[in-house]
Amino acid sequence: MEYYFDNAATTAVRPEVAEAMVQYFTKSYGNPSSIYKIAQKNKTAVERARGQVAEAINANANEIYFTAGGSEADNWAIKGVAESYGDKGKHIITSCIEHHAVLHTCEYLETKGYEVTYLPVDEYGLVSLDDVKKAVRDDTILITVMFANNEIGTIEPIAEIGAFAREKGILFHTDAVQAVGHVPIDVKAMNIDMLSMSGHKFYGPKGVGALYMRKGIKITPLIHGGAQERSRRAGTENVPGIIGMGLAAELAVKELDKEMPRLTALRDKLINSILEKVPYSRLNGHPTKRLPGNANISFEYIEGESILLLLDYKGICASSGSACTSGSLDPSHVLLAIGLPHEKAHGSVRLTMGHFTTEEQVDYVIQELPPIIERLRMMSPLYEEILRKNKKGE
């Protein structure tokens, strides 16, 4: 039995989505740019999917450009604005807890003469509008702040930042890869100019994403070539992927009213039970301004990879912000940004639930996780010191 608690990493494709895709691999395989019937039918299907994706965020279909994923959408939005609006200014504002697709793109632009302000966050991972206001300069051309954080699930004040950016006439991009299909998004009401999304985070396929670009915004293509995507993004369309992403977006948004309260209840049950059962543990991220399926907890005196290995042994798939799992010496930049010392960041575990998560699965994790923590602590020289100190204090 597999207990999948890593839905922020990727999600399983819904069976009905996979089924809808199959015919576009084997039967209806025509290139949408071709003139014959099976190709033209695909063009229509791609446009229908564009409509489904647009509707999910209250955009117009002609404002959606399909990409090969969320990272491409982020790269395109940021590099595109930098290049096309570079004569107006060279300053970009972002947050220090962005996904690397945004952070590393900004760092790259710094090597090309752009200046980037990395906004700090508070202990919950929230960006403050005041900080955005203070960071704005005459030469600011872009504000890019993520909709919701992939590690700690914190939902940022996007509508407030959007309203401010619009008033100032500064372009506002948001990396909404973790948010689309999970929380309501209205690009019009929230004054979002550009938004990145990724199909595989809401039960669609991997390798397909989209950039929403408000009508009137023109940025240089990232990928030059053919005239696909209204000459903005070249390359033969990933027809099965686009079809799958479109249907997945439609289904996710249609079920939002049901799924949000269900997952929020599961999330809170998981968080509260673990915090109650395990001493020296803390929740990372905001308790309520939080993605419905995200739980991120730090366990003191132990290290994350060890926890993941023991969870895996029990069939539970999870992830961690420890250095050992990131392949570098530093733990997650997000956990450090919210003020966790290195040792607490090393002991973090992220459990992300989704459409296929049941209450029985949550109960299983609540049952299996505490003994794992205890087992590792009994092995830890740091815990030994705490026990000794506590004993002395008695």
Residues acting as catalytic residues: 324
Beta bridge partners of 94: 118, 144
Q: Does 350 bind another protein (CB under 8 A)?
A: no
Of positions 317, 380, 386, 387, contacts another protein by CB under 8 A: 380
Name which position in 15, 169, 216, 381 contacts another protein (CB under 8 A).
381
Residues near another protein (CB under 8 A), total:
25
Query: Pick from 314, 383, 311: which is nearest to 350 by CA?
Result: 311
Q: How far is the CB of 329 from another protein (least distance, A)?
A: 6
| Contact yes or no for 368/311 (Cβ under 8 A) | yes
* 311 near another protein, rule: CB under 8 A: no
Choice from 191, 306, 319, 361 touching another protein (CB under 8 A): 306
Instruction: Using alpha carbons, select from 209, 231, 212, 131 the residue that is nearest to residue 172.
Output: 212
At 113, give phi and psi (nearest 5°).
95, 5
Instruction: Kindly compute the dihedral angle of the four CA atoms of residues 125, 130, 135, 141, in this order, to the nearest 10 degrees.
Output: 90
- The reply to whether 265 sits near another protein by the rule CB under 8 A is no
Within a 13 Å sphere around the CA of 21, how many CA atoms are in the beta-carbon half? 23
Task: Tell the smallest beta-carbon distance from residue 108 to another protein (Å).
Answer: 25
Round to whole Å and give the CA distance between 39 and 95. 43
Query: 365's torsion region: left (phi>0), alpha (psi -120 to 50) or beta?
Result: alpha
List the one residue from 63, 72, 193, 303 that touches another protein (CB under 8 A).
303
CA distance 19 to 35: 26
The residue among 216 and 381 lying less far from another protein, judged by its C-beta, is 381
> Counting contacts by CB under 8 A, is residue 384 touching another protein?
yes
CB of 374 to another protein, least distance (A): 13
State the DSSP code for 201: G
Q: Does 386 bind another protein (CB under 8 A)?
A: no
The answer to whether residue 378 forms part of the interface with another protein (CB under 8 A) is yes
Does 393 bind another protein (CB under 8 A)? Our answer is no
Q: Which stretch binds another protein (CB under 8 A): 17-25, 67-75, 181-189, 300-308?
A: 300-308
- Closest approach, Cβ 203 to another protein, in A, equals 27
C-beta closer to another protein: residue 169 or 393: 393
317-346 footprint of another protein as x/- string (CB under 8 A)? -----xxx--x-x-x----------xx--x
List Cβ neighbours of 234 (8 Å cut-off, separation of 6 or more): 221, 223, 224, 225, 226, 227, 228
d(CA 269, CA 255): 21
118-177 positions binding another protein, by CB under 8 A: none
Contact residues for another protein, defined by CB under 8 A: 301-306, 309-310, 313, 322-324, 327, 329, 331, 342-343, 346, 378-384
